[in-house]
């Protein structure tokens, strides 16, 4: 089984946009897990690519993730469900020279699944951060993740992915990543509450 490689992986954040949020299953889990991956990836200086599905209609990436992304918030606008069906995304990803994709975002059974299928067809190794993806309904989330796994993707979670990338407690960023995990893990893995807008 392939393992995440610090020198080969790109984090891809798919369509975590404002107008989707209220319809999603466990949105707080999704947000916190995506934030953990984004902040951890930034500490590790990994490439991050963000997509937005028709933002004129569906809004931008949610503010909390835009803030976490900082200068990495350079969204690729798409109409296609698969990110790899979008020429700009395909060229952007290829330009990294990397061959692993760590996916988070929505929806598991549509954009995540179709992106996975196309990535695998192009020869990339795909890792699905199960806690950092979701869909409108629990069944669709679980079905989408399972379809990705059956197609050849590897199931991970946000915390395990980051520790796999660190590989050792002697990594220079270990304590910073550990602090992020301590901050965000309770928001991901404890009982989920219904999303409340502020």
Active-site positions read 15, 78, 111
Tokens 């980051």 map to which residue? 162
Q: Which two tokens stand for residue 24?
A: 């999603």
Closest by Cα among 177, 2, 193, 29 to 105: 29
First to last CA, the chain: 43
User: Angle 113-121/138-151 helices, nearest 10 degrees?
Assistant: 10
- CA–CA dist 4, 46 (Å, integer): 12
Q: How far is CA 57 from the centre of its chain?
A: 22
């Amino acid at each position: 089984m392939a393992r995440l490689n610090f020198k080969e992986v790109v984090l891809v954040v798919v369509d975590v946009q404002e107008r989707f949020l209220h319809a999603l299953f466990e949105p707080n889990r999704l947000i916190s897990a995506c934030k953990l991956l984004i902040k951890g990836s930034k500490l590790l200086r990994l490439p991050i690519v963000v997509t937005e599905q028709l933002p004129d209609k569906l809004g931008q990436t949610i503010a909390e993730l835009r803030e976490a992304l900082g200068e990495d918030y350079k969204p690729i606008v798409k109409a296609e469900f698969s990110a790899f069906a979008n020429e700009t995304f395909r060229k952007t990803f290829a330009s990294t020279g990397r061959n692993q994709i760590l996916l988070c975002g929505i929806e598991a059974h549509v954009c995540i699944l179709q992106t996975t299928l196309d990535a695998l067809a192009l020869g990339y190794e795909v890792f699905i951060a199960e806690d950092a993806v979701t869909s409108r309904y629990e069944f669709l989330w679980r079905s989408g993740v399972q379809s990705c796994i059956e197609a050849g993707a590897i199931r991970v979670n946000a915390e395990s992915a980051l520790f796999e990338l660190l590989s050792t407690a002697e990594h220079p960023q270990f304590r910073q990543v550990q602090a992020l995990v301590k901050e965000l893990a309770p928001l991901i893995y404890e009982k989920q509450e219904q999303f409340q807008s502020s």
